[in-house]
Amino acid sequence: MTCHEIPGIVGANAPVGPPLKGIASRVMLGGVLPNSPANMVLWLRAPQQVAPLTAMPDLGVTERDARDIAAYLATLK
């Protein structure tokens, strides 16, 4: 299950979160963090700690998985 539309990923089109197309070009993550590789990893691992009012849940993403996801998201310009 996904919460975001992800370009090129079949079935990743749930309308709960914003589309991820262009996320690499966005200035901020979740409206609270400057968009950088390290901050993307932080956001993926602990969004509720970064922004307690965010709708994005803590999903238990490991450090390694967060780095891999962040690297992929960095390609979505």
15 token code pair: 């309308």
Dihedral sign, Cα of residue 54, residue 59, residue 65, residue 68: negative
Nearest to 11 by CA among 2, 19, 23, 22: 2
For the segment 23-59, what is each residue's pLDDT rounded down to a tens digit?
999 999 999 999 999 999 999 999 999 999 999 999 9
pTM, whole model, 2 decimals? 0.86
5 token code pair: 């539309």
Using the predicted structure, report yes or no on whether residue 14 has a pLDDT greater than 70.
no
